[in-house]
C-alpha cells in the first residue's frame, strides 16, 4: 500500500514484481503471517530470445525479461542482491543514483572487477534514501541490449503527497542491431541514422523568411562544419523501436485507474541514447520528485526526460475515459506510448508527431568544439576586431551559445530545451525545480571547470578534449565541498551522471536548489553544481548517452 494514501488499495502494475529469495518465500508460506526475509534478491543475467520489432532477436535479460524485474526496497533496510552471470562475457549491475559503498556501485574497472562468466557476485549495503531510481548494466553495451529495470524505494515516513495507484513507467530504446555495428556506422558516417535532413522546400522557406543572402550563408556555414541544423540525435528511429515498460508503441503498455483516483507515475528514462518529451493529452502533470528527491509540486503539461533522469508525477484522470501516455523523441522521429484507462481494452488517440526543431548558428558553442575535424580550441583570430576563422569560415562577431565572443557559455535553467515551450503548453524547466526541504551546506571551497568536448565527424567524445584513457582522475578530499562547472562546447545535449554523491543544481533557487544524480547540459550551456565529497572511494562521472560514454566522455572521481 503506497504511503500517503492510508486505507486505500494498491493495484500493482506488471512493473511492480518483487523477486525475493525462494527460501524466503517458502519460509513465509510455512510461517503463515511471518514476512519473507527482507532484502534478499536473486537476479540472473542471461541471453533470451525476444521479438520487440516483429523480427526475432536476442536480448540480454535480467531474470528472463526486458526490462528486468522492478525491485522495491525500503529506506533503512539492508539488502543482499546475488547476481548470477550466465553470459559468456563479464557483466555488472549498477544501482543508478543510489548512495552506497563504492565497491558495491558496480562499475568494472573503477569500483570493482566485474562479474566473470559463470560466477555470482553478491551486493550488500544498507538503503539510505527513498524515491524512484533504476538499475542497469555497466559493462560494454549490455544496457542497450536489455539490462535495465526500475528501482523503487519506499520511505520511512509518510510522503508529502497523496496517491491511490503507483506505476513505474520505464522508457527505453531497442535495436535489433548489434551495438558494435551501431558504433561502427556512427564512426563511418555520423549522419547514418539521421531521419530529418534539410530539403529544397526548407531552403525556399528560409529564403522567404530571411532572404537569399542569409540563407545561402547559413547553408555554407553548416556545410563547412560538416553538420546539420537537424542533428538532434545520433541514433534514431531508423534503427530504434521505443518501448514503454518493454512494450512497443503497438499495442503499447496499459494500466488501470478508477475515476477520481490520483495516480502516481514514476517516469524513468532507461534508454541508451534517447531524450523523451512526455505528456498526457487532457491531463496536467504535477511534478513531485526529481531523481528520487521530493520537490515543491509544480504543474505542467509536458516535461523532457533526459537519458537516466527520473521524475515522479501525479495525475487525476476523470470521466471514465482512456488517456494516452505519450513519450515523443526529442528529434520527433518516433515515440513510446501507453494507456491509462478504467477498463481493459480501451484506447485513446495517439498524437501526431510534431515537426522537428532546428538548431541555428546562434546555438553554436564558442570553445572546444570540433567542427569539420578541427577543434575550436585550435581556431585562430580572424582579425584585430575579434571573431575567429574555423575550417576556413570566418565567425566574426557571431553570437555563440547565447553569449557574445569572449564571454562564458550561457546558463539558461528556464529553457526547457529545443523544440519545447512554443506551442502554449506549460513545460517543465530546471528553474522550476525547488527542493521541498532546503539541504543547506557551506559555500564551496574551490571550483572545478570541465568542458564537454567532441568531434562528431570522428565520433569522439571527451571532457576537456581528453578521452578517459588519456585523462587523470578528478581528485577530491573527503569532506570538502566543491563547485563543478560544466560548459558544453558541442552541439549535442549531454546528460552528465555522478556516481555515489548528489549534485546540487545551481538553478537560481538559492538554498532550495534541487539535488540530482543526472544533470542535462544543453549545447552552449554553462551549468554549475555543488558537490559534497562525503563518499570515499573511486566513482564514475560520465555522459549517460551510452555511445558517448563508450567513446570517451568519462572520468574517474577519487575521494580520499
For 196-246, what is each residue's pLDDT tens digit? 655 555 555 555 666 766 655 655 555 554 556 677 999 999 999 999 999
Assess whether pLDDT exceeds 80 at residue 303: yes
Assess whether pLDDT exceeds 70 at residue 386: no
Direct distance between the N- and C-terminal alpha carbons of the chain, in angstroms, rounded to an integer: 42
Percent of the chain scored above 90 by pLDDT? 74
Which one of 132, 147, 165 terminates a domain?
165
Instruction: Record the pTM.
Output: 0.85
Grid cell of 23 as nine digits? 527460501
Q: Name the more confident of 219 and 396.
A: 219
Assess whether pLDDT exceeds 70 at residue 397: no
Contact 93, 147 (CB under 8 A): yes
Assess whether pLDDT exceeds 60 at residue 384: no
Assess whether pLDDT exceeds 50 at residue 389: no
Confidence at residue 79, expressed as pLDDT on a 0 to 100 scale: 97
Which one of 147, 165, 183 terminates a domain?
165
Count of domains observed in the chain: 2
Grid cell of 481 as nine digits? 565541498
CATH of residue 379's domain is 2.60.40.420
556 part of a folded domain? yes
Which one of 135, 165, 195 terminates a domain?
165
Question: How far is Cα 201 from Cα 207, in angstroms, rounded to an integer?
Answer: 10
Assess whether pLDDT exceeds 90 at residue 526: yes
Assess whether pLDDT exceeds 70 at residue 380: no
For 96-111, what is each residue's pLDDT tens digit? 999 999 999 999 999 9
Residue 203: what are its φ and ψ, rounded to 5°? -60, -50
Instruction: Give the residue-averaged pLDDT of 384-406.
Output: 32
Q: Which of 120-129, 164-173, 198-207 is the least confident region?
A: 198-207
Confidence at residue 220, expressed as pLDDT on a 0 to 100 scale: 55
Query: Kindly report the CA angle at 177 between 458 and 59, in degrees rounded to 5?
Result: 130
Contact 64, 46 (CB under 8 A): yes
Assess whether pLDDT exceeds 90 at residue 382: no
335 part of a folded domain? no
3-state DSSP of 17-28: CCCCCHHHHHHH
* R_g of the chain, CA atoms, integer Å: 23
Assess whether pLDDT exceeds 80 at residue 361: no
DSSP code at position 88: S
Q: Which of 31-40, 117-126, 200-209 is the least confident region?
A: 31-40
194 part of a folded domain? no
Assess whether pLDDT exceeds 80 at residue 379: no
How many residues does the structure list for the chain? 560
Confidence at residue 197, expressed as pLDDT on a 0 to 100 scale: 57
Contacts of 238 (CB under 8 A, 6+ apart): 192, 193, 194, 195, 333
Assess whether pLDDT exceeds 90 at residue 28: no
Q: Name the more confident of 69 and 24.
A: 69
Question: How far is Cα 545 from Cα 496, in angstroms, rounded to an integer?
Answer: 9
Confidence at residue 286, expressed as pLDDT on a 0 to 100 scale: 98
Instruction: Give the residue-averaged pLDDT of 366-389.
Output: 34
Query: Kindly report the CA angle at 269 between 268 and 271, in degrees rounded to 5?
Result: 140
- Cβ neighbours around 248 below 10 Å, total: 18
120 part of a folded domain? yes
Q: Which of 6-20, 223-237, 266-280, 488-502 is the least confident region?
A: 6-20
Report the mean per-residue pLDDT for the chain.
Answer: 84
203 part of a folded domain? no
76 part of a folded domain? yes
Instruction: Give the residue-averaged pLDDT of 481-499.
Output: 96
Assess whether pLDDT exceeds 70 at residue 372: no
373 part of a folded domain? yes
Tell me if residue 146 falls in helix, strand or coil: coil
Element (H, E) at 151: strand 148-154
Confidence at residue 345, expressed as pLDDT on a 0 to 100 scale: 93
Instruction: Give the residue-averaged pLDDT of 149-177.
Output: 97
Confidence at residue 214, expressed as pLDDT on a 0 to 100 scale: 62
Question: How far is Cα 314 from Cα 316, in angstroms, rounded to an integer?
Answer: 7
Contact 160, 78 (CB under 8 A): no
Report CA-CA distances (Å) from 521 to 13, 42, 58, 428: 33, 36, 34, 15
By residue range, what is the domain housing residue 491? 359-422+429-560
73 part of a folded domain? yes
Q: Tell me whether the omega of the peptide bond preceding residue 453 falls within 30 degrees of 0, making it cis.
A: no
- Cβ neighbours around 502 below 10 Å, total: 23
Assess whether pLDDT exceeds 80 at residue 409: no
Question: How far is Cα 396 from Cα 392, in angstroms, rounded to an integer?
Answer: 12
Contact 400, 524 (CB under 8 A): yes
Confidence at residue 217, expressed as pLDDT on a 0 to 100 scale: 60
For 417-459, what is each residue's pLDDT tens digit? 999 999 999 999 999 999 999 988 899 999 999 999 998 888 9
Amino acid at each position: 500500500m503506497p504511503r500517503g494514501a492510508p486505507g486505500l488499495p494498491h493495484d500493482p502494475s506488471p512493473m511492480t514484481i518483487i523477486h525475493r529469495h525462494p527460501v524466503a518465500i517458502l519460509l513465509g508460506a510455512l510461517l503463515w503471517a511471518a514476512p519473507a526475509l527482507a532484502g534478499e534478491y536473486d537476479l540472473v543475467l542471461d541471453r533470451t530470445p525476444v521479438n520487440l520489432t516483429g523480427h526475432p532477436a536476442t536480448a540480454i535479460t535480467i531474470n528472463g525479461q526486458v526490462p528486468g524485474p522492478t525491485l522495491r526496497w525500503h529506506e533503512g533496510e539492508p539488502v543482499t542482491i546475488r547476481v548470477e552471470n550466465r553470459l559468456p562475457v563479464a557483466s555488472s549491475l549498477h544501482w543508478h543514483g543510489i548512495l552506497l559503498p563504492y565497491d558495491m556501485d558496480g562499475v568494472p574497472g573503477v569500483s570493482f572487477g566485474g562479474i566473470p562468466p559463470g560466477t555470482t557476485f553478491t551486493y550488500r549495503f544498507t538503503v539510505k534514501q527513498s524515491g524512484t531510481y533504476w538499475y542497469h548494466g555497466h559493462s560494454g553495451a549490455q544496457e542497450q541490449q536489455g539490462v535495465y529495470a526500475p528501482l523503487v524505494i519506499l520511505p520511512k515516513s509518510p510522503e508529502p503527497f497523496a496517491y491511490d495507484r503507483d506505476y513505474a513507467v520505464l522508457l527505453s530504446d531497442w535495436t535489433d542491431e548489434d551495438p558494435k555495428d551501431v558504433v561502427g556506422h556512427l564512426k563511418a558516417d555520423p549522419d547514418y541514422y539521421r531521419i530529418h535532413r534539410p530539403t529544397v522546400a526548407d531552403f525556399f522557406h528560409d529564403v522567404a523568411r530571411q532572404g537569399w543572402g542569409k540563407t545561402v550563408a547559413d547553408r555554407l556555414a553548416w556545410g563547412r562544419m560538416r553538420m546539420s541544423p537537424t542533428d538532434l540525435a545520433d541514433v534514431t528511429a531508423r534503427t530504434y523501436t521505443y518501448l514503454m515498460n518493454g512494450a512497443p508503441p503497438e499495442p503499447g503498455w496499459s494500466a488501470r485507474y478508477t475515476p477520481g483516483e490520483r495516480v502516481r507515475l514514476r517516469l524513468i528514462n532507461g534508454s541508451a541514447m534517447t531524450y523523451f518529451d512526455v505528456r498526457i493529452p487532457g491531463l496536467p502533470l504535477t511534478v513531485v520528485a526529481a531523481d528520487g528527491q521530493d520537490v515543491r509540486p509544480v504543474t505542467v503539461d509536458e516535461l523532457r526526460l533526459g537519458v537516466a533522469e527520473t521524475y515522479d508525477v501525479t495525475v487525476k484522470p476523470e470521466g471514465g475515459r482512456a488517456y494516452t501516455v505519450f513519450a515523443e523523441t526529442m528529434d520527433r522521429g518516433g515515440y513510446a506510448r501507453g494507456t491509462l484507462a478504467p477498463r481493459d481494452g480501451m484506447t485513446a488517440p495517439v498524437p501526431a508527431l510534431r515537426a522537428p526543431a532546428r538548431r541555428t548558428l546562434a546555438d553554436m558553442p564558442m570553445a572546444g568544439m570540433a567542427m569539420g575535424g578541427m577543434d575550436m580550441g585550435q581556431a585562430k583570430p580572424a582579425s584585430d576586431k575579434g571573431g575567429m576563422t574555423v575550417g576556413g569560415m570566418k565567425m566574426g562577431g557571431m553570437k555563440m551559445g547565447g553569449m557574445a565572443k569572449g564571454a562564458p557559455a550561457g546558463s539558461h535553467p528556464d529553457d526547457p530545451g529545443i523544440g519545447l515551450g512554443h506551442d502554449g503548453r506549460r513545460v517543465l524547466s530546471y528553474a522550476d525545480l525547488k527542493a521541498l526541504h532546503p539541504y543547506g551546506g557551506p559555500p564551496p571551497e574551490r571550483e572545478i571547470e570541465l568542458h564537454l568536448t567532441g568531434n562528431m565527424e570522428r565520433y569522439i567524445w571527451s571532457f576537456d578534449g581528453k578521452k578517459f584513457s588519456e585523462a587523470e582522475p578528478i581528485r577530491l578530499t573527503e569532506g570538502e565541498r566543491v563547485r563543478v562547472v560544466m560548459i558544453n562546447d558541442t552541439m549535442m545535449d549531454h546528460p552528465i551522471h555522478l556516481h555515489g554523491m548528489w549534485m546540487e543544481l545551481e538553478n537560481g533557487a538559492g538554498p532550495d536548489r534541487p539535488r540530482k544524480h543526472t544533470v542535462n547540459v544543453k549545447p552552449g550551456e554553462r551549468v554549475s553544481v555543488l558537490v559534497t565529497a562525503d563518499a570515499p572511494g573511486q566513482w564514475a562521472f560520465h555522459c549517460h548517452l551510452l555511445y558517448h560514454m563508450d567513446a570517451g566522455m568519462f572520468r574517474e572521481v577519487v575521494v580520499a
